[in-house]
Amino acid sequence: MLNLSAADTRVFLFHSPGAATDPKAAMDSVNNWLSRDRSTGQYPNLKIADISITPDGSGGVYTVVICSLGEPRTAD
């Protein structure tokens, strides 16, 4: 479990309206975001604290990803 502080925490929300008809595609945007190479970005130490999936009531899902940004990259 990560110890999250408010200044270091970000919450990302993804909505996949067609999850019931295409479950694989429902997670594509989430998986693409999670798999990005952040090693050269501002927050290379980003860590996932929690992922939850909730039905939207209309055949889709909401995916919530809670992250700790970690130490920002410092200019050399």
pLDDT of the chain, 76 residues: tens digit per residue? 556 777 788 999 999 998 888 888 878 888 998 898 888 888 888 888 999 999 999 999 999 999 988 766 666 5
Q: Which domain holds residue 49?
A: 6-68
- Which DSSP string corresponds to 8-74? GEEEEEEEETTTTT-HHHHTHHHHHHHT---TTSS-TT-EEEEEEEEE-SSS-EEEEEEEE--SPPP
Q: What is the count of structural domains for the chain?
A: 1
Indicate whether 12 belongs to any domain.
yes
The structure's pTM equals 0.77
Q: Does 27 map to a domain?
A: yes
Whether residue 73 lies inside any domain: the answer is no
Residue 74 lies in a domain: no
